Structure 1
Amino acid sequence: MHCISQGQDFGTAYAYLRPQWHLDFFTLEARMTYTEAEDARERAEALDPSNNHVVNAKLRPRRVWDLFSNRVLLNGVETESVLRLVVVPVSHVWLAENERTEVHTPINSFQWPVPLPVDSSLERVRIELLNLGLQYVWLDVLCLRQRGNPEAEPQRAHEWKLDVRTIGAVHRETG
């Protein structure tokens, strides 16, 4: 019900349920709701509202890319077994505008266009990451809200207050 009430597609529902097959499905929605609330609390406490300074930069990433389901998941909705898994950070290559394209994709629920090199694709990146044996990845352009959706610009600006300042924690976790 949690995924349906959020308007998520089957791929996203599968991504949340896949690591939970061995757990009690009757308590799954309650666990997801609790984890989402805990993540929101931690993020609220990590930013000092009086001066917008980060007081806790040791947060897990807001989103992760589940390579098996090929969907981006909100960290706050993941349940404990997913939160314990290693999330590998991957950074894209900065390119001039004429060397990249913007892709709208169901992987991030079409929330923002993902900038990619014109000669590549998210599927090619995914295959390479799967070949490395990875399961959960933080790919910055896919997991960090990007510019491109004017209606979501206030939300992007709000998320970036904390998320950009805590990117180092994503990289330290696997370093």
Structure 2
Amino acid sequence: MNNISFRNDILPLKNVLFRLALRITLNREDAEDVVQDTLVKVWNKRDDWHEIDSIEAFCMTVCRNLSLDKVKKASRSTGSLEQTGTEAADRTGADPYDRIVQRDRFDTVRRLMNALPEKQRTCMQLRDFEGKSYKDIAAVMNITEEQVKVSIFRARQTIKQKYVEIDKYGL
């Protein structure tokens, strides 16, 4: 990809990068900062773009690394991370009771997903929410495709098992 355009190839990735950063940092403001820092880093590497096989994988790798750095820095200074909103759950269904039930389910799944180990959480985010291929995820995560598949399987199994436990016991 010798003809990479910041406006046409990189800027459209900002929403994907934001969702990835948000999934890792669990904080909207931190995710916004990470995306901005990612775009700046990618722009500063513009002279080397011709050497990059996949600009999207490169951007996501930079975003992931910056997000992890932000989480490590935050965990040193404070123990709490702000939770994100439930805008998606609010848009479903017209009946208030159905919206509440849907929002509770969404919050439960989000809590369970946020409790996963970082590798599983990121693999699942990239596959299930961003629709990335196993190959692309492996490149971003710097692991094998088989490790990606195993991480996603384990993440889904963990969430399913814990969700059933919570739903069954109402905890």
Settle same-fold status: TM greater than 0.5: no
Larger radius of gyration: 2
Q: TM-score scaled by structure 2?
A: 0.28
Higher helix share: 2
Higher strand share: 1
Q: TM-score scaled by structure 1?
A: 0.28
